[in-house]
Amino acid sequence: MAEHIVPRKTYFAVFAALLVFTALTVIAANINFGKMNDVIAMTIAVTKMMLVLLFFMHVRYSSRLIWVIVASMFFWLLILLLLTSTDYSSRDWFGSHVGSVVGRQ
pLDDT tens-place values along the chain, 105 residues long = 567 788 999 999 999 999 999 999 999 999 999 999 999 999 999 999 999 999 999 999 999 999 999 999 999 999 999 999 998 888 777 776 655 666 555
Q: What is the pTM of this model?
A: 0.72
For the chain, report the end-to-end CA distance as a whole number of angstroms: 71
21 and 34: one domain? yes
Domain range enclosing 8: 1-58
In a domain, 105, yes or no: no
- CB 14 within 8 Å of CB 51: yes
Handedness of CA 39, 45, 49, 52 (dihedral sign): positive
34 and 73: one domain? no
What CA–CA distance (Å, rounded) separates 79 from 83?
6
CA distances from 79 to 5, 17, 38, 73 (A): 35, 30, 20, 10
In a domain, 18, yes or no: yes
61 CB-side CA count, 13 A: 12
Per-residue DSSP letter, 55: I
- Total residue length of the chain: 105
